[in-house]
A = this chain, B = another copy of it.
Amino acid sequence: MTLPAPLTGVVPPVCTPLTPDNEVDTASLTRLVDHLVSAGVDALFVLGSSSEAAYLPDRHRRTVVETVVGHVGGQLPVLAGAIDMTTLRVNDHVDAVTAAGADAVVVTAPFYTRTHPAEITRHFRAVAAHSPVPVFAYDQPASVPLKLTPDVVTELAEDGVIAGLKDSSGDEGAFRACLMGTRALPGFSVLTGSELTVDSALAMGAHGVVPGLGNVDPEGYVRLYRYAKAGDWERALAEQERLCTLFGMVEVGDPARMGRSSSALGAFKAALQLRGVIDCAATMLPQVPLSAPEVERVGKYLAGAGLL
């Protein structure tokens, strides 16, 4: 399907349910898609950070896109990450995910290697020239050496290289600069990936939100988006604060025993299992699984938010 321009609304980065031996659990994945679609989300983003894209081998990635695109059957757009180190490797993923039916691709700045703003724009220009579908820039400075500055984003937007921005930088001042710098461009979409400041981003004029926590509570983010669009900032604030409290689950994993990715993605998946959406909370190697007491604490967060 053709991507709406601008893309708006709630676009959850879909978790990748796995079997205990780290294969894609396609039955759970389609149930997760149903869980999100029935909550009223506007599009789906697969193969992002919350999808464990960095952990998925190419065949898993293909399975994910084919399963999700096949299951949604054009009801709503599917964006797919093409996450890899540099241009030609990214282009190979662009080929794979568009062959599998993705409606847009989401691409970061180069990583692993030392890079430069001039190389970042060169990278996006080459990917966009290659891609048959719109390209979204993914600002993820926790994973890549350089933040996408408002100057870089605005230049790429003005030149029609990118169709939108998915900003997970947590830098709300720069986010606002991207919004202001691209406001005159009809169809350009600015999305926040920061779960905790969605109300702020929408008040600034953001087009939508890509919340990892939206896997667990998509209805919450749909409500938050609708309150904000209606200008009901009081209800938006209350909903946002409820979601912030729920987000506390990402810290359940013991930092002496595991990294923050194991903890956060483990918590989202444990929550999805506790809510009956997916069969198994396994995360990809080499992440460390949550312990039983840690999973129990996830359950308490769900109960506290009225989700159990």
Q: Which residues of A contact B (CB under 8 A)?
A: 22, 49, 54-58, 60, 83, 85-89, 91-92, 110-116, 118-120, 122-123, 126, 142-144, 170-173, 176-177, 180, 194-197, 199-200, 203-204, 231, 233, 237, 241, 244-245, 255-262, 284-288
- Smallest CB-CB A-B distances: 7 pairs: A116-B259, A173-B196, A200-B200, A122-B286, A123-B286, A87-B285, A54-B85
Copies in the complex: 4
Q: List 8 A-B contacts (CB under 8 A).
A: A57-B88, A58-B92, A87-B284, A112-B144, A115-B259, A173-B194, A176-B197, A176-B244
**In whole angstroms, what is the CA distance A197 to B244 when docked?**
19
* Known A196-B176, A288-B119: A143·B203 in contact at CB below 8 Å: no
Residues on B with beta carbons closer than 8 Å to the beta carbon of A112: 54, 83, 111-112, 143-144
Chain B residue with Cβ nearest A111: B112
User: Looking across the interface, which residue of chain B has its beta carbon closest to that of A183?
Assistant: B241
Contacting pair A56 B88 (CB below 8 A):
yes
Residues of B close to A204: CB separation below 8 A: 200, 237
CA A190 – CA B176 in complex, angstroms? 22
Cβ–Cβ contact B288 & A113, under 8 A: no
